[in-house]
Chain A
């Protein structure tokens, strides 16, 4: 099935560092969602973006909806150990007529205390 290109695949950083990850597609999206998933649990919604160019923050997390509507990025500032997990982007196609989300393969984040 269709997937988003999410990068990097994995990151290993020191506590306190900033993190950036992104998702790109050749298709136009009207919604971008960012989720975090811990092992053995379901994804937890972090940020939802609905407008091109929109920049939204949730605590230390900031996400942007790309101007071209084909990409989005997520930044985490001053990382802490509990940021460890897998981060997924998901999007709703502009041409889509249902509520099905297209998912990236995830970015695995490890934080060294």
Chain B
């Protein structure tokens, strides 16, 4: 049974650089979510896809952030011109669209912006 996977697990970058993260959801799940988590906080919602359609974006998702899910399978989250405040754990989750709200998370990508 393959769970949600994320790549890379860790990313260190310099301020101003662009970074891209990948998420592969559980294969039969049509919903995919991106969250950001900082120390001592719960996950903060960033955006949500149903199949390839991006249905909601948080106000946290500034114009430097963009997410795609081109074929309704894997998703990418890109951060342009990274800032030190972008340092966080970026979590991806997926769920089955049959009515349940259970979201299953990947291991996360830890981003450090120097």
Contacts and interface: CB of A to CB of B under 8 A. Distances in A.
Interface of A: 1, 3, 31, 33, 35, 40-45, 48, 88, 90, 92, 98-101, 103-106
Contacts of A45: 102-105
Given A42-B91, A88-B42, A101 B103 contact: yes
A33 B40 CA distance: 19
A105 B40 CA distance: 7
B72 interface: no
Contact of B101 (A31, A41, A43): A31
B95 interface: yes
Nearest to B40: A105
Interface of B: 4, 6, 31, 33, 40-45, 48, 55-56, 58, 91, 93, 95, 100-108, 110
Most buried by B among A41, A42, A43, A90: A42
Contact of A40 (B56, B102, B104, B110): B110
A42 B55 contact: no
A42 B101 contact: no
Nearest to A92: B101
Nearest to A90: B42
A99 B108 contact: no
Nearest to A105: B42
B55 A48 contact: no
Given A41-B108, A42-B107, A99 B101 contact: yes
Contacts of B6: 42
A98 B42 contact: no
Contacts of A41: 107-108
B49 to A, nearest CB: 10
A42 B42 contact: no
A42 B48 CA distance: 17
A42 B108 CA distance: 6
Contacts of B107: 40-42
A31 B4 CA distance: 22
B42 A44 contact: no
5 contacts: A42-B108, A88-B42, A90-B42, A101-B101, A103-B42
